[in-house]
Homo-oligomer: A and B are copies of this chain.
């Protein structure tokens, strides 16, 4: 029920610009599986190229946050944005990167707690303490 068609492997192979991105996704993720997000973005090659290029840097380059922590943050954003697709894909990714049941339970607790205190602080319009401000 996408608003655009999803590209098949045959259609991807027939378009060199799209194929180059998809090949790099397969190589980077060490898996042949291409999920529907990329099959939908294939309709817009420029968006596909830019999105993957950015995602590759943000999620796959070495850095100060480990891969699982990155996925936990991604799930948090996706949950609050109500992105059904992204919640599913990044929960699966977190599990593939080793998220334990205990870690998932704690993630859920923090998501719920933060959403609750966000609502309280917004409803009360609590002024930011001077101690928290960078000047």
Contact = CB atoms under 8 A, between A and B. Distances in A.
Contact of A125 (B3, B77, B114): B3
Interface residues of A, number: 83
Contacts of A112: 47, 51, 116-117, 119-120
A10 interface: no
A51 B111 contact: no
A126 interface: yes
A125 B76 contact: no
A100 B113 CA distance: 24
B114 A73 contact: yes
By Cβ-Cβ distance, the 9 closest A-B pairs, closest first, are A77-B114, A44-B105, A80-B80, A76-B76, A115-B119, A83-B118, A82-B82, A112-B116, A64-B102
21 contacts: A1-B127, A2-B127, A2-B134, A40-B126, A41-B120, A47-B108, A50-B54, A57-B109, A59-B113, A65-B72, A70-B110, A74-B114, A77-B80, A79-B119, A82-B83, A83-B118, A85-B122, A87-B125, A92-B131, A108-B123, A112-B116
